[in-house]
Chain A
Amino acid sequence: MAEIVSLADAVAAAVRDGDAVAMEGFTHLIPFAAGHEVIRQGRRDLTLIRMTPDVIYDQLIGAGCASKLIFSWGGNPGVGSLHRFRDAVENGWPGPLRLEEHSHAGMANRYAAGAAGVPFAVLRGYRGTGLEGLPGLDGRPSVRPITCPFTGETLTAVAALTPDVAVIHAQRADRLGNVQLWGITGVQKEAVLSARRAVVTVEEIVPELRPQPGAIVLPGWAVDYVAEVPGGAHPSYTAGYSQRDNDYYVAWDAISRERESFRRWLETDVFALAGTAGGVSEGDSGS
């Protein structure tokens, strides 16, 4: 059964140095507050996993939390490059970052295989691309051709993802830790079920979950820690609770471009907020 705890306690208990950590949320419901708590607690040598390592992983990479990244698209959506990610890959700052690179379809299927408890998933994909020849983090390919045992057709196998911990943000949970999320739900269910441990931040903890069209419910016994963090997806959004802060994504381009401006942002917008409820400041909420 999920424990209802503070964000700081959830991260302290669930995320350890050297872990493989999947923070998911496809544009919507990105667990930014939890990411900032991981930075504050000084986690190191993480293998970060995420389909779209956008601004949230730019922040973790720049803060020196990660040594490896498994991903399929690393940009600032609608804005441009991720400067901290590029500085790590192109110049090894603040440390080298090893990559395991896939397509979205491949990543989604890898999570689904992990959630289903099988070692790989099969898809039509990767054939003829440079991605199928790339080594994975262990030096061996994580994409291999496979022959269908029924038709003889050549398809593609991708290795399952089994993170140590998954971190997501959701709309609501009840006091037993049953979690409800809706709107664009991305790959969060698969990420949680593929991981050994799961942390969920929620907008609010309610006495009883009301049925909601299109909602996913993750039972409390499939989740380890739930923390109430209103606004915990900011600058992304939470359907029914908040709007996406598009100006933040634009502003991030300038903040992240230089190491010095990024360091100042870490001090004022992450470290200075230690001990605040969810770690979300007033000044953090641009619009």
Chain B
Amino acid sequence: MNAPGAAVTGGGAFTADEMMTACAARALRDGMTCFVGIGLPSVAANLARATHAPSLVLVYESGTIGAKPGRLPLSVGDGVLAETADAVVSVPEIFNYWLQAGRIDVGFLGAAQLDRFGNINTTVIGPSYAEPKVRLPGAGGAPEIAASCREVIVVLRQTPRSFVERVDFVTSVGFGEGPGHRERLGLTGAGPRKVITDLGILEPDPETCELTLTGVFPGVEVADVEARTGWDLAVSGSLDVLSSPSEAELTALRALQATIPAHERAA
């Protein structure tokens, strides 16, 4: 990956993005069904399949179920996904029969903005929807992935601009306004289970639903995470220092990245 500006942690042997990707891959268990978006989630899901989770079922919103790509796909509709899938179904079918009906264990989402309750904005930046400061791509499949997958993992780089007190627009609901809100809205999945960043892991507090720092990457201090969080960050009393990527993880990850041209790798 070696994105420009990526901080190197743990003695220079791997980048913060590699650590983040390995961490996201570890969150997937073998045999799970996983709804995968392109970019970092797709890299992490394919890394999991190449290492500890060979029977992970990759589902892409293009309608490919059980895709087994031998290289990283460059879009959600990459031909390699259809060619290696157990089944290819239409877009209405993938959303209605497979996602909405509760057949997917885990959904992977990115975000432009995220708040303390794990609500996600990928629509507009600025106070006005009608006159946005920045127009983002929009919802895609995310609102229903956030609503209907049994659990959700969010992956994004942590900055004060991305970790905000209130999102400018709620594209996808995490825990809404707090405890009980998902139930009141009739959302069937449990919501965000982990938020994985380039500094560590946040998990929702079981009582308050507020995202709480539960793990940091090697060499990262709590103050570093606080400095890149736009709200008063809750920190777990039993903070983990997460283990560095293993040789096997790094080898598999770099082999996957090498399957696509450098200028087309997940940014």
| Interface residues, chain A, with chain B CB atoms under 8 Å away | 26-28, 51-52, 71-75, 77-78, 80-82, 85-86, 89-90, 101-105, 108-109, 111-112, 123-131, 134, 153-155, 183-187, 189-190, 214, 237, 239, 243-244, 246, 250
**Chain A residues, CB < 8 A from B2:** none
- Tell me if B79 and A187 are in contact (CB < 8 A): no
Chain A CB within 8 A of B14 CB: no
In angstroms, Cα B75 to Cα A78, docked, is 6
- Tell me if B264 and A103 are in contact (CB < 8 A): no
5 A-B pairs within 8 Å (CB atoms) are namely: A90-B135, A109-B96, A124-B144, A124-B147, A128-B181
**Chain B residues, CB < 8 A from A103:** 139-144
Chain A CB within 8 A of B221 CB: no
Query: Which listed residue, A71, A128, A190, touches B185 by the CB 8 Å rule?
Result: A128
**Chain A residues, CB < 8 A from B129:** 130, 134
In angstroms, Cα B105 to Cα A181, docked, is 31
Of residues 31 through 63 on chain B, the ones whose CB sits less than 8 Å from some CB of chain A are 38-39, 61-63
- Interface centre among B64, B90, B135, B143, by most A CB within 10 Å? B143
Shortest beta-carbon distance, B60 to chain A, in Å?
9
Contacts A74-B137, A125-B100 given; does A104 touch B185 at CB 8 Å:
no
Chain A CB within 8 A of B267 CB: yes
Q: Which 3 A-B pairs have the closest CB atoms?
A: A27-B77, A75-B137, A73-B140
In angstroms, Cα B137 to Cα A71, docked, is 10
Query: Which listed residue, A104, A155, A186, touches B90 by the CB 8 Å rule?
Result: A186
**Chain A residues, CB < 8 A from B82:** 28, 183-184, 239
**Chain B residues, CB < 8 A from A74:** 135, 137-138
- Tell me if B139 and A104 are in contact (CB < 8 A): yes
Number of interface residues of B (CB under 8 A): 55
**Chain B residues, CB < 8 A from A51:** 91
Chain A CB within 8 A of B176 CB: yes
Nearest CB to that of A190 among chain B residues?
A: B92
In angstroms, Cα B119 to Cα A127, docked, is 13
- Tell me if B79 and A131 are in contact (CB < 8 A): no
In angstroms, Cα B185 to Cα A75, docked, is 29
Chain A CB within 8 A of B123 CB: yes
Query: Which listed residue, A28, A81, A108, A243, touches B92 by the CB 8 Å rule?
Result: A108
Partner-binding segment picked from B5-13, B149-157, B167-175: B167-175
- Tell me if A125 and B143 are in contact (CB < 8 A): yes
In angstroms, Cα B181 to Cα A89, docked, is 33
- Tell me if A186 and B62 are in contact (CB < 8 A): yes
In angstroms, Cα B133 to Cα A102, docked, is 20
In angstroms, Cα B243 to Cα A157, docked, is 47
Q: Given contacts A74-B137, A78-B74, could you give 5 more A-B pairs where the C-beta distance is less than 8 Å?
A: A104-B140, A109-B95, A128-B185, A131-B139, A244-B75
- Tell me if B138 and A123 are in contact (CB < 8 A): no
- Tell me if B38 and A104 are in contact (CB < 8 A): no
- Tell me if A77 and B75 are in contact (CB < 8 A): yes
In angstroms, Cα B64 to Cα A257, docked, is 32
Chain A CB within 8 A of B132 CB: yes
